[in-house]
Amino acid sequence: MLKPVFALGGLGMLTAMVNKAGAGELKTTLLTAMPLLPWVVLIELGRQGCDATATRLSYGARAGQVPLSVLVRAQLIGTAVSSMAPAGRAAAEATKATLLTPYAGGAAATAAAATSQSASLGAGGLISFPCAVASYLMTGWSAFTVAMLVHGFVLLLASLGVRAGLRAKRLGAWMQRRCGKWGAHAQSFQASLCAGGLCPWRPMLAFLGSRVLQVMQYAVLAHAVGIDATVVQALFTQGLYLVALALGSLVPGQVGVTDSVFSLAAGAMGTSAAKAMSIAVLAHAVQAVFVLVGALTPLVWRTRKVTAAQVVAPAVPAAA
Residues 24 and 14: their CA atoms lie apart, in Å, by: 15
Question: In this structure, how many other beta carbons lie within 10 angstroms of the beta carbon of residue 69?
Answer: 10
Q: Give the mean model confidence (pLDDT) for residues 283-312.
A: 80
Report how far residue 282's alpha carbon sits from residue 82's, in angstroms, rounded to the nearest whole number.
18
Q: What angle do CA 82, 86, 89 make, to 5 degrees?
A: 35
On the 0-12 / 13-18 / 19+ scale of CB atoms within 10 A, 246 is middle
Q: Which of 27-31, 82-86, 123-127, 229-233 has the lowest mean pLDDT?
A: 82-86
> Is the pLDDT at 308 greater than 60, yes or no?
no
Question: Which phi and psi angles does 85 have, rounded to 5°?
Answer: -85, 150
d(CA 235, CA 100): 34
More confident call, 2 vs 141:
141
pLDDT band at 182 (very low <50, low <70, confident <90, very high): low
Domain residue ranges of the chain, discontinuous segments joined by +: 20-302
Residues 6+ apart with CB under 8 A from 89: 82, 117, 120
Q: Averaged over 111-115, what is the pLDDT?
A: 86
pLDDT at residue 81 above 70? yes
Average pLDDT, the chain: 82
Q: What is the pLDDT of residues 227-258, one digit of tens each?
A: 888 899 999 999 999 998 888 777 766 777 88
Check residue 178 and give its pLDDT: 63
Q: Looking at per-residue confidence, does 119 or 17 come out higher?
A: 119
What is the pLDDT, as a whole number, of residue 263?
86
pLDDT of 9: 64
Output 247 or 293, whichever has higher pLDDT. Answer: 293
Q: What is the mean pLDDT of residues 196-203?
A: 80
Question: Does an H or E element contain 306, and which?
Answer: none
Give the model's confidence band at 316: pLDDT under 50 very low, under 70 low, under 90 confident, else very high.
very low
pTM value is: 0.84
Give the CA distances from residue 137 to residues 232, 236, 269, in Å, rounded to whole numbers and listed in that order.
Answer: 8, 9, 11
Burial 192-208 (b: 16+ CB within 10 A, else e): bbbbbeebbebbbbbbb
Each residue's pLDDT tens digit, 137-158: 999 999 999 999 999 999 999 9
Quick count: other Cβ atoms within 10 Å of Cβ 132? 23
Q: How many CB atoms lie within 10 A of CB 41?
A: 13
Residue-level pLDDT at 62: 82
pLDDT at 73 over 70: yes
| The pLDDT value given to residue 273 | 85
Helical H runs in 34-168? Answer: 37-58, 68-84, 88-104, 106-139, 143-167
